[in-house]
Structure formats: structure tokens, C-alpha cells
Structure 1
């Protein structure tokens, strides 16, 4: 069908990405971990896609990398896991971390992933352990297109919800980008400024 879509991001919502390409706005179901990788609205990005088509439903799924999409396919090989369940799982844990959990046979950690109970965790481990691999040339947790992926991750590690952290970082980064002195800072200084203001914003 088609492998990917390149366009301008017009909106980012929990597990949802809006992308405009040649006058057409695509509505894609997207794992939150992929959304973290994508830059803010208004930027151009390449999205790897999967079209689910049945007699009663047509849904388009989007991913930050081909490796993420392959993991999505692998998860759907597990009995009881459909596209939406796979996206829910991938929204709660990065592809790299999930692969590590499976390779280590860490059933307890797998059971803690939202959307995965004890029974499903056992099925995933049995079906996928030792069968997953990620392209080392692609950073699954972040891409060059996302300057503030590390900031979002840091906020999540502090206990903030991923969606709220992402919204705060996007809001603050957009505000700071309008300031002249901010544009003159290096990457580390920009990340620090965004982190500090996002932290204050979330603490309100």
C-alpha cells in the first residue's frame, strides 16, 4: 500500500497524530512514545505507517521509526493483542526497554506495563523472547527531529504523566523559541531552559 507519509504536523494528542500532506490531513493512531519523538506542531516529519482495513473499519497507524512499526507487528502476533492493544502497550514503554525486558525474561516488569496482565505477559514472553531486535542505526527513544525528547523523559522519570509532560514541553519550547536570547543558546542550554520552565508549569 504505502510505507510512510512525510508532512507537516498539525496536531498531537494522546495516541493521535494529525499530519498534513499536499492538502490532505491524515489522522493517525500513534503510540505516545512515538509522539514524544516527533517535533512540535508546525514541523515536517516522516511517519512510518500501517493501514488496518476491514469491512467495517479503516484505521491508519503511525510510528517514529520502522523498528517501532516492526515491534507493533510482532506484538500483534501474540494471541489476544490487536492493533489498539499494541499501541497501548507501546505508549507505556519504549521499544528499547520492551526488548530489554523480554530478553531478560523479566515477567514481573512486563506485568506492570498498562494493558498487560499476568496472562498476557506470559504470552508475550513465550511468543517474543529472543525473537526481537532493533536497528542500532535508529534511536528508538529519540530522533534528531526531536530536540526535547530527553526533557520529556526526565519529567516522566520524576513522576509526571507522559502526556502532560509532552504538552508542557511543547508549550514552553514554543514560547521560548520567540525569545531572541533563547535562539542564541546551544542545545544543552535550550534543554535546561525548557526543563526548568516546564517543571514550574507542571508544578502549578
Structure 2
């Protein structure tokens, strides 16, 4: 019914996101790992959605990008894993880590996920190994809040630049400039990143 909703983030809580759009504040179920991929409260974000609608349940689930949603939908294919369970699984670790675990066949690691256990881990492996649905043309560059360059990102976003574009540029440049960072202070590193991004986005 809804592919995505774009609005202002008004609240971030464990497995829950509030998003205001045209006077309506949506209460969205979301994996904790996806909350970390989204900008802070008070900023605009695009949330990819999936709706659960039954005789007794009406709930909206949200994700930071299409691949995160695709992984969630893949988890729903596993016998015994419902929407809430899929969110719990995705909250346990970054989706890229979980996908790598499934592709490598590491059942023991899956069993360690809270609420999964040996039986569900086996079902996940049987249903999903080699069958994950991903958008290969979708590249997601993420910079965690703890990133050394989160201040640079915040500064550029406050200047009006798109957060997703800025995060992508920071990810690219921080990797590219790594050899030049030797001996530099944190402030000098931030200045290098900031100046180069301003030039590229001008």
C-alpha cells in the first residue's frame, strides 16, 4: 500500500520511530540497526515501509533503505518468523553481518541471536542461504554516529546539503584520504574532509 514515507523524525526509541508527515505522526516499528542508519531527531528522512494488516493487527514497519526492507521480507519467508520476530533479529546486528552469516552457512552464529535458537537458525539457513533478495544497484554508504566525522556530516547537513549525499561523500573520502591522515590531528582530518566535500558539492 505504501512504498515509502518522507517526513520529519520526531522520536527515536528502541525498535520504534515517530515520523511526522503533513500533520500526521506515524508510529513505525523499525529494527534498532536501521535507527542507527537514519539522521537524528528533527531532520527529514525517507522511510521505506511495509504494512501488516490482519483482523487483529494494523502495524507499520519501516526501514532505512530498500535492501533493509528486502531482507526483512526475506526473513518473513522463514517458517515461524513473524514481523516482530524479524525486527528483533535485525536489531541484533547490522543486516550486512546477518546476510554474510547466512551466505557463509554459519548456523552456530545464528543460534546466538536472542530469540532464534537452534531450530529457527536451521530454518533460516534452509530458507535463505543463497536466496536473499537484494537490489544490486543500490549502494548504501553509512557513517555511524560514532564516526570520527559525524561533526562534519552534521555541519554540512545544517548548511542545507542532503544527508545521504554527504554521508556517501564522507565514506568515500575518508577511505580515499586514509594514507594522508597519518600524523594529522582530528581537527586537521575533519578540515580536509570538509574542504574537499564543499568543493565537490559546490
TM-score (norm 2): 0.71
Match of 2:41 in 1: 41
- How many angstroms does 1:138 deviate by? 2.6
User: Aligned pair 1:54/2:49, yes or no?
Assistant: no
Match of 2:139 in 1: 138
In the alignment, structure 1 segments of 5+ residues that lack a partner are 155-169, 178-186, 194-204
User: Over the residues paired in the alignment, what is the CA RMSD in angstroms?
Assistant: 2.4
Cα deviation 1:2-42 (Å, max 9, x = unaligned): 10000000000000000000000000000001100001101
Matches within 5 A, 1:1-204: 1-136=1-136, 137-139=138-140, 143=142, 149=144, 151=146, 189=186
Asked if the contact 1:9–1:42 (Cα under 8 Å) also holds between the matched residues in 2, the reply is: yes
- How many angstroms does 1:105 deviate by? 0.4
- How many angstroms does 1:135 deviate by? 3.1
SS in 2 for 1:38: coil
Asked if the contact 1:6–1:47 (Cα under 8 Å) also holds between the matched residues in 2, the reply is: yes
TM-score (norm 1): 0.70
- Could you say if the C-alpha distance between residues 150 and 43 of structure 1 is closer, same or farther in structure 2, counting changes exceeding 3 Å? closer
- Could you say if the C-alpha distance between residues 116 and 51 of structure 1 is closer, same or farther in structure 2, counting changes exceeding 3 Å? same
- Could you say if the C-alpha distance between residues 150 and 22 of structure 1 is closer, same or farther in structure 2, counting changes exceeding 3 Å? closer
SS in 2 for 1:27: strand
Bigger Rg, structure 1 or 2: 2
In the alignment, structure 2 segments of 5+ residues that lack a partner are 156-169, 175-185, 191-202
Cα deviation 1:80-126 (Å, max 9, x = unaligned): 00000000000012221111111110011111112210000000001
- How many angstroms does 1:150 deviate by? 5.6
Q: How many residues align?
A: 157
Asked if the contact 1:65–1:138 (Cα under 8 Å) also holds between the matched residues in 2, the reply is: no
Asked if the contact 2:107–2:122 (Cα under 8 Å) also holds between the matched residues in 1, the reply is: yes
Cα deviation 1:39-72 (Å, max 9, x = unaligned): 1101000000011111111000000011111111
